[in-house]
Structure 1
Amino acid sequence: MAKTIFITGASRGFGKLWAEAFLKRGDNVIATARDINTLNDLKAVYGDKLLALQLDVNNRADVFAAIEKASQKFDTIDVLINNAGYGLFGAIEETSEAEARAQIETNVFGLLWVTQAILPLMRKQGHGHIVQVSSVLGVATLPTLGIYNASKFAVEGLSETLASEVKDFGIKVTLVEPNGFATDWAGASAAGTTPIDAYEPVRKAFQAGTTDDAFGIPEATIDAVLKLIDAENPPLRLFLGKVALPWVKQVYADRLATWEAWNDVAVAAHGK
C-alpha cells in the first residue's frame, strides 16, 4: 500500500536519493528544500505524486505552514523523515558563536519544529512513523566535529524521549544513525571554522585515520530505508553502514569499564 512521506532536506544526498526511491515505488512524497529548483527533475517525472515545498526548517512558522499545505493535498502523512541538516567542521575552541548557534538551530531546533508540527496530525489519524536522521556521531564522537556531535547527541535524547511520549498514540520513532557515506556531506554541504594552528596535529591525525572503505555507498541505503518505513514494529535505533556497530561496541566497552572502575566513588556519593 502506498505511503505518504514528508522528507526535509531533499535537495541532495540521502534526502533526494530516498525521495526518488519512494516515488519510484508509487509513494506520495512531500519533499522540502531551501531551493525547490533542485527538485524539478523529480517533478517532471512524477508529477502530482510529488509536492515540492520551499522550506527553511529554521523558520518555525513556515514549518507549520508546510505541514498544513501537505496535509491539505494528501489528507494523511504516514512517515516523516527529518533529514535536513549539515556538518560543521572545526575544533570547539575555533567555533564562533554564530557558527555554533547556526549548527544547533538547523540540526536540533529545525528538527524539533518539524516534529512538533506533524504530531497533531499523526495523533489525530492514530498512526505515524517519525524517522530522525541522526548519526553514529550522536552515539560516539570524533574530534573537530564537536558542535555537530553535540547536535546529534541532542537529537538522540530528544527522540528517545519522544518515542516514550507518543507510543500510545500509535506513533513510532526511529533514529537512523549512519556512519560515513560518500555523499557531499563533508564537501559542498559542510561548513568550517577558521583554523587555529595549535589544532593542526589533531586535524591531521583525524584525516590520516580515515580510509575510503570507511565510507559507504549512498545508494546502498535505499533498501534499508524502505524496509524501515514498511516495518510493522520499526526499531528505535538503526545504524546504516558496516563501520558503526563495531566502533560503538568498543566505545561502550570503554565507557562501562570506566564507570565500573569509579563505581565505589559513585555509590559513596549517593549518601545512604
Structure 2
Amino acid sequence: MSSARTWFITGASRGLGRAFTEAALSAGEHVVAAARNVEPLVELAEKYPDDLVRLALDVSDRGAVFEAVERASSAFGRLDVVVNNAGGLLYGMVEEATEEQIRDHLDVNFFGAVWVAQAVIPCLRAQGSGRILQVTSMGSGGGMASVGFYGAGKAALDSVSEALAMEVEQFGIKVTIVQMGGYATGLFTAGTTTTAPDPAYEGLRSQLAEMWGEDAGPDPSTVAPVIMELAGLPDPPRRLIAGSRSFDLVQEMDQARVEEYRTWEPLSRMALG
C-alpha cells in the first residue's frame, strides 16, 4: 500500500500553488491540482502521469467546488493535505472600487476558500485525519492603502479559519493559517484587477510606489520546503508567518498596535464593557 499522501491544491497553475505542486510531486506525493486554467500544468502532467490530476475549477462557483472535491477524493482514494491557495488582487483605493470588483474579489479570495473548506471537511472527517492550509497574508492583521480589499478578504479568512480549526480538531483535522510574505508570484500582473484611478489619490499612489519599490520578492519555490515540513508536523501551529523579512515586519506591526492601545488605555477604560 502506498504511503504517499494526496494533496488538493487550488490556484495550482502559477505562483505559490505551482511551487507547492512541484514540491509535493518531487517528494513522491499525489497531487490534484485545481486552477481556472490548467494548461500551464501540461509539462508536469507528462512528467508525473501517475501522480498528478489536473482539474479546471473556478473556486467562486460553490457547486463546481463540491464536484471538484468529489473527483479529487476519488482520484487517489483519499485527501490528506488541502492547500487553499487560489486568489487574486484588487488594486485600488476603497473609494475607487466598483461593487462588481469588490464582490468578484471576495468571491475568490474569501468565499472560494470557504467553499473548499466546506467541501473537504466531510471527506477528512470520515478518514479521521487531514490538514487544511489556509494561505492568507502577512498583511491580514491590518489594512494598507490601495490593497484594502485584498487585506479584508485575507483577514476574514484568518478569522473564519481560527473558528474552523477549533471546530474540526475533534475530528483529527488540523488547520494552519499560513500568512505569506511577498513572493514573485505574478500576483501584481496576471492576478490583478485594477480600479480606475481617481486623480485625487495620485500623490498617495506615488508615495506607495516609492515605498514598495520594484523588488518582486523571492521565488515562490523558496517557501515550498516550509509548506512541506508544515504539512508533516504532528502538532502544527494555528498560524505561521512564511518569510524571514515578513516575520520581522509582522512583529513590528503588532508592537506598534500594542503601543497605540497602551497610549489610549485611559480612554478605553472609561467604558465599562
| TM-score band w.r.t. shorter chain | over 0.9
Per-residue deviation, residues 185-205 of structure 1 (Å, max 9, x unmatched): 111221110000111111111
Q: Deviations over 1:16-46 (max 9, x none)?
A: 1110111111101000011222221111110
Q: Show the counterpart of 1:158.
A: 160
Work out whether 1:43 is the aligned partner of 2:61. no
Distance between the aligned counterparts of 1:148 and 1:19, measured in 2? 24
CA distance in 1, matches of 2:31, 2:233: 18
Per-residue CA distance 1:122-144 (angstroms, 9 max, x = gap): 11110110001101121233210
SS in 2 for 1:116: helix
1:164-190 CA distances to partner (integer Å, 9 max, x unpaired)?
111111111111111111121111221
Range with greater deviation from structure 2 (89-98 or 261-270): 261-270
Deviation at 1:211, TM superposition (A): 4.0
Please identify, of 174-183 and 26-35, the stretch whose mean Cα deviation from structure 2 is larger. Answer: 174-183
What one-letter code is carried by the residue in structure 2 that aligns with 1:248? V
TM-score (normalised: structure 2): 0.95
Distance 1:214 1:237, change over 3 A: farther
After superposition, the C-alpha distances for 1:43-85 in whole angstroms (9 at most, x for unaligned) are 1110121111111101111111111111122221001000100
Matched-pair contact (CA < 8 Å) for 2:184–2:216: no
Equivalent in the alignment of 2:220: 218
Which residue of structure 2 aligns with residue 230 of structure 1? Answer: 232
Residue aligned with 1:243, SS: helix
Tell me which residue corresponds to 1:102.
Answer: 104
Contact 1:214 1:243 in 2 (8 A): no
> Which residue of structure 1 lines up, in the alignment, with residue 139 of structure 2?
137
TM-score (norm 1): 0.95
Change (3 A) 1:269 1:214: farther
Deviations 1:133-164, CA, capped at 9 Å, x for gaps: 10112123321001111001101101111111
- Please identify, of 196-205 and 103-112, the stretch whose mean Cα deviation from structure 2 is larger: 196-205
Q: Which 10-residue stretch deviates more, 215-224 or 74-83?
A: 215-224
Distance 1:132 1:176 in 2: 6
Aligned residues: 271
Q: Deviations over 1:228-251 (max 9, x none)?
A: 111111111111222222222222
Stretch moving more, 125-134 or 64-73: 64-73
Alignment pair present for 1:11 and 2:1: no
Cross-structure match for 1:256: 258
Residue 212 of structure 1 and its aligned partner are, at CA, apart by 5.3
Letter matched to residue 102 of structure 1? D
Q: Percent identity?
A: 39
Deviation (angstroms), 1:214: 7.2
User: Which range is displaced more, 109-118 or 167-176?
Assistant: 167-176
Query: Structure 1: any 5+ residue segments left out of the alignment?
Result: none
- The one of 12, 24, 32 equivalent to 2:34 is 32
SS at match of 1:94: coil
SS of equivalent to 1:256: helix
